[in-house]
Chain A
Amino acid sequence: MTASAWGLLALFLVALLVLAWPVGRFLAALCDERVPRWMQRVEAPLYRFAGTRPEQSMHWLRYALALLAFNAVGAVFVYALQRLQGWLPLNPAGMGAISPDSAFNTAVSFVSNTNWQGYGGESAMSYLTQMLGLAVQNFFSAATGIAVAFALIRGFARRGDGKAKGLVGNFWADLTRITLWVLVPLSFVLAVFFVSQGTIQNFDAYKSVQTVEATAAGGQTLAMGPVASQEAIKMLGTNGGGFFNANSAHPYENPTALANLLQMIAIFLIPAGLCFAFGRVVGDLRQGWAVLAAMTVMFVAAVMVVIPAEQAGNPLFGALGVDQLHGVLQSGGNMEGKEVRFGIDASALFAAVTTAASCGAVIAMHDSFTPLGGMVPMVLMQLGEVVFGGVGSGLYGMLIFAMLAVFIAGLMIGRTPEYLGKKIEVREMKLISIAILVTPVLVLAGTAVAVLAGAGKAGIANPGAHGFSEILYALSSAANNNGSAFAGLSANTPFYNGLLGLAMWLGRFAVIVPVLAIAGALAAKQRLPVTGGTLPTHGPLFVSLLIGTVLLVGLLNYVPALALGPVVEHLVLWK
């Protein structure tokens, strides 16, 4: 890696830690239900309207059914909005109705925090659909993920006796507080900052301009819209669905290098803050640091692969005598599909950030990365989106792996598995197995169906190993709720809209349900005191064990599939 790449990575990580610490403190207060009186007064009318009382904690099943009902209503609303947008206001470009299969895919995509986009934003969606449908779900899907993380943290933190035995919190109160006091204020500040950098925020009609170069159309149409307000929550909520088709590579979404740095920090801000919140609420900050350390080690390792892979360039260009060396006049390396203003370092770092977290925003086309460079984002998704991961989903995913790690350690050394004083027993292990295996089944079975079906093969633009990678990437992205795409796969078809919609929904809610069940089971258990026989879960040994567990599960599931795609492509390119 070049010195500038190390510098950028160090700056990013330091700024992230400094900003995530206070966010973690506030998230811990919300998770602990320590809400100041003035905030309670603001919330009160909302609870009255919803007919709920925030102090009424729920059994996990009630919490799960409330969560599912809320998200189902959201999905139906987004579907209807897309189908009716032609008759609705705030549509200066005169966008017509979205096709039913695409509307289904997009509704599931935004409700599940995936934000996979089979459509081009500026050529398909009205301003009203972007704001009331997509941006609103950016907030609610993010709040849903954090609420599930809160429920699981409470499962660990509660002592398993008294009135709160087996109860995990109130879903409606969690949803309201996370949206109102975390996501909206942070998004507002970030949106104003983006506007200061040049991101647009308007309701203007699209503008026709005369370009310097003559074009067949006689000029160019510049898409307008309320971009900054959507951009902020797109990053903070690890949503990733761009206002424009080019996503954060578009200068109206991501105008400057400083905006780009803040976009990356915003993606990791809440996932990192939640680690600190976790440590605080369970009463041992070291536990939060241990989880954060495991995430950071895996993330830095991924960055140390993807940046050199892109900096190495393309050997076929080298054979033609093309200068691909990094220097003062050029980024060097593989610049295909990358923004010249961001270069190799920022593009490769952004790719690692956006796929380590389940964001999916892009500033470079991952399809154009070298085979090894493109494999890194794919693997980061396939690890289950636990390397920081989505807001909430990253932490609860990593805690599931932590419980699996203590179970494996217990088997090896003959100790009763327990994590944070809670015994991990048969029921929890069954639920953990379901939560971990849902996404690999969806990815691998979905990829198999797509490469066997005629409609699946019809979408491939590049035959051979790269075409297989395009399909594997799409299913990995959908089932792990990332949303980024390898370009080159024509996925806006009824076949892919249906298949990916199924993967996104089950990849989200078929994981959330067992996680909430685990939260309920833990909340009903007595919290055992730490003894000499307790496995320490805050030191380097446990961090190593946790990393090993995540890598072992990921590699066992995906190595054969990766061998057919990026590995073959790499060997062919560098033979």
Chain B
Amino acid sequence: MDFVWMGALLALWAVAAAMAVGLDRLGAPKNAAGTAQGDAS
């Protein structure tokens, strides 16, 4: 049972880390030569 619950702990960590990486890409400028974040409204 320890593997199951320890696995659950690590899975939760992986979800949060994946969320961080995903949010870093959310709304990032698609054009590399574009303006800095927040300047394009």
Contact = CB atoms under 8 A, between A and B. Distances in A.
Interface in A220-268: none
Given A513-B23, A524-B36, A525-B37, A79 B5 contact: yes
Interface stretch (A113-121, A292-300, A303-311, A425-433): A425-433
B5 A61 contact: no
A496 B20 CA distance: 27
Contacts of B15: 506, 510
Given A427-B27, A431-B23, A68 B16 contact: yes
Contacts of A513: 16, 19-20, 23
Interface string B28-41: 00000000111101
A460 interface: no
Given A72-B10, A416-B41, A426 B2 contact: no
A425 B9 contact: no
A65 B38 contact: no
Contacts of B6: 76, 79, 104
Interface residues of B, number: 25
Contacts, number: 93
A399 B27 CA distance: 21
A426 B41 contact: yes
B19 A510 contact: yes
Contacts of A79: 5-6, 9
B8 A104 contact: yes
Contacts of A61: 20-21, 24
Given A75-B9, A101-B5, A505-B16, A517 B37 contact: no
A83 B5 CA distance: 12
Nearest to B27: A427
B13 A68 contact: yes
A423 B20 contact: no
A65 B24 CA distance: 12
Contacts of A64: 20
A521 B40 CA distance: 13
Interface in A503-530: 505-506, 509-510, 513-514, 516-517, 521, 524-526
A498 interface: yes
Contact of B1 (A100, A501, A509): A100
Contact of A107 (B9, B17, B19, B26): B9
A501 B27 contact: no
A521 B24 CA distance: 10
Interface string A22-41: 00000000000000000000
6 contacts: A79-B6, A103-B5, A425-B38, A428-B38, A502-B12, A506-B12
Interface of A: 60-61, 64-65, 68, 71-72, 75-76, 79, 83, 100-101, 103-104, 107-108, 166, 416, 422-423, 425-428, 430-431, 434, 498, 501-502, 505-506, 509-510, 513-514, 516-517, 521, 524-526
Interchain residue pairs A-B with the least CB separation, the first 8:
A427-B27, A104-B5, A72-B13, A509-B16, A100-B1, A525-B38, A64-B20, A100-B5
